[in-house]
Amino acid sequence: MEYNFQALAELYKNALLNDVLLFWEKYSLDWEQGGYFTCLDRYGKIYDTDKFIWLQNRQVWTFSMLYNQLEKRENWLKIASNGANFLAQHGRDGDGNWYFALTREGKPLVEPYNIFSDCFAAMAFSKYALAGGEEWAKDVAMQAYDNVLRRKDNPKGKYNKTYPGTRPMKSLAVPMILANLTLEMEWLLPKETLENVLAETVREVMADFLDQERGLMYENVTPDGSHIDSFEGRLINPGHGIEAMWFIMDIARRQNDTKTINKAVDVVLNILNFAWDSDYGGLYYFMDADGHPPQQLEWDQKLWWVHLESLVALAMGYRLSGREVCWKWYQKMHDYTWSHFADSEYGEWFGYLNRRGEVLLNLKGGKWKGCFHVPRALYQCLQQFEAL
């Protein structure tokens, strides 16, 4: 099927405003206790009331970002405030570290065992401070960001279960999220901090985690960027690699760095060629770089965020580089993603498919899926196609 850019922009805007956001506005808001319900079945019914800090902060970010960048709808700001006020009151321990999970009422359930809760808190409160003009929210954002910088070399701190010294590794997740987070907080950061963090994260992603010969992004490497012949050392997470590349493209675009943009596009294409399921379509969730059996039993599932991040990377890659191969891949990815994940009957998108592309879990939200990847990708793709 052939697509034109105007029709695609309209498709993404309609899906964002008249489908996905409406689903979360209708079913996820906890006006009584504050924050959001994220465990929603296909029809929007709540099946668990625990509140996961990643997803709470991500929903604050989503509605704040859209208020700032798309349309100043008062109900979007009200929704963001409902989460921000709940999180500011309940989200952190006495040392300012962000928990992983809370009860519905806000009592701690899971300790702050890594820095990703802090990452999403910094993102959320930065955008919320910009939307609502709340000075206190700036302070929350900066405190969370400082936590991330302080803990980035040991993200799990005292909760790290790895024995020290035997097989030291670092994860792609830390520099890739720090690169995106730093861009999100650009308006709050000193210029020197912004430039230094962006330069170091881009260098680390593109030098240490990128295998220069294979053009693939590895999930875990040694501190000096070399490979380890183990489950973790051979792990390829296609979605992470592709998502990281559109973060890199976004940074390079601001710096007019066409060389880095094209290098990032090359990596996206390499990952797609490596991870595409030629029998059933779609991208594998996890892969072993050398073709050995992956450690993750869910390796062959097809996940919503992996495919959505691929759509963003391909649309952005095509807009910034003009390379036809990006457009061909975009159309292939579009056909698979929209026909398998979008729920035209009850709204929003399914998250988890089996290898054949059949719905595996009949949910719209849970412990890991919330109001983030779908609306963010729809907004990003809308922006790319409006600019073409």
Domain final residue pick, 161, 192, 217: 161
User: In the structure, how many helices (H) and strands (E) does the chain have?
Assistant: 13, 13
Domain final residue pick, 129, 161, 193: 161
Residue 154 has a pLDDT of 87
Domain final residue pick, 126, 161, 196: 161
Closest CA to 230 of 279, 302, 183, 162: 162
| Two tokens, residue 45 | 């019914």
Task: Give the residue numbers spanning the domain of 128.
Answer: 31-161
Residue 1 has a pLDDT of 60
75 with 127, same domain: the answer is: yes
Question: What is the longest distance spanned by two Cα atoms in the chain?
Answer: 56
Contacts (Cβ under 8 Å, ≥6 apart) of 229: none
40 with 25, same domain: the answer is: no
Interatomic CA distance for residues 31 and 297, integer angstroms: 38
326 with 181, same domain: the answer is: yes
User: The domain spanning residue 143 has which CATH number?
Assistant: 1.50.10.20
Cα 181–307–29 angle (5° rounding)? 60
Q: What is the DSSP letter of 283?
A: B
Residue 158 has a pLDDT of 84
254 with 275, same domain: the answer is: yes
184 with 312, same domain: the answer is: yes
110 with 64, same domain: the answer is: yes
Cα separations in angstroms, 346 against 20, 44, 45, 209, 361: 10, 9, 12, 40, 15
276 with 329, same domain: the answer is: yes
Interatomic CA distance for residues 91 and 197, integer angstroms: 26
22 with 44, same domain: the answer is: no
176 with 284, same domain: the answer is: yes
- Please, what are the averages of pLDDT over each run of 10 residues along the chain (388 residues)? 88 98 98 98 98 98 98 98 98 97 98 95 98 96 97 87 91 97 96 97 98 98 97 98 98 97 98 98 98 98 98 98 98 98 98 98 98 98 97
Residue 76 has a pLDDT of 98
152 with 250, same domain: the answer is: no
Total structural domains within the chain: 2
Residue 42 has a pLDDT of 98
Q: What are phi and psi of 38, to 5 degrees?
A: -115, -15
8 Å CB contact between 159 and 111: yes
Q: Report how far Cα 291 is from the mean position of its chain's Cα atoms.
A: 26
Whether the model pTM is above 0.95: yes
35 with 23, same domain: the answer is: no
207 with 129, same domain: the answer is: no
User: The domain spanning residue 346 has which CATH number?
Assistant: 1.50.10.10
8 Å CB contact between 199 and 254: no
**H-type helices in 322-371, by residue range?**
324-340
**Strand-pair partners of 342:** 349
Q: What is the DSSP letter of 356?
A: T
